Amino acid sequence: MKKQLFAVVVGAALAFPLFAQAEGAYIGANVGRSELKLSIDQEGTNKKSNTGYKAYAGYDFTQNFGAEAGYVDFGKVNRTIDGTTLEAKSHAFYAAATGTLPLNEQFSLFAKAGVSQNRTKISISDASGSESKNKTSAIFGIGAAYNISKNLSAVAEYENFGKVASEGGDKLKADLLSIGLRYKF
């Protein structure tokens, strides 16, 4: 995970001069509550709330339409069955189309829909090693933004990433409720 976070930071630093030239471009970071819901066939469901975070960049083509891409870390969820503990850690890279409805100069509502490439690492306590699963899923989100200044906005949003991992009747679902700051160039 440290390598991925390093790659996101380096990529953002390299892209920063390009964004500075592009009016309509923005970057942002959010932190909040992620919820992972692990359903194991014939064993029930386990929900776990974690601190989740995301870093993203986007571009508004018009006042109402744009695109956004980013990285989200959902944290982990544990489940113990008959003395064996299963741990699942999940993160995602996503790309989405965005729609914005300005209510006035300070407030706006927005929605997004797109796809995410999810990676989930599964570890079992009585087995050596771990296994990683990749899954592509649809995402959607809604939120609101408050313009603090011409370039800086506070945002609050909810994003649903659907099933981030599944095998047979077992599945892991994820969502993120977060607040953060967005800087527009």
Tens of pLDDT, residue by residue over 58-113, are 999 999 999 999 999 998 877 776 777 777 788 999 999 999 999 999 999 999 99
User: What are the φ/ψ torsions at residue 82 (nearest 5 degrees)?
Assistant: 50, 45
Question: Is the CB of residue 97 less than 8 Å from the CB of residue 60?
Answer: no
Other beta carbons within 10 angstroms of residue 173's beta carbon come to 20
Which one, of 164, 177, 184, lies nearest residue 30 by Cα?
Answer: 177
Which one, of 50, 68, 72, lies nearest residue 59 by Cα?
Answer: 68
Q: Locate tokens 């990529």: which residue?
A: 11
Topology of domain 2-184 in CATH is Porin (2.40.160)
Indicate the pTM of the whole model. Answer: 0.78
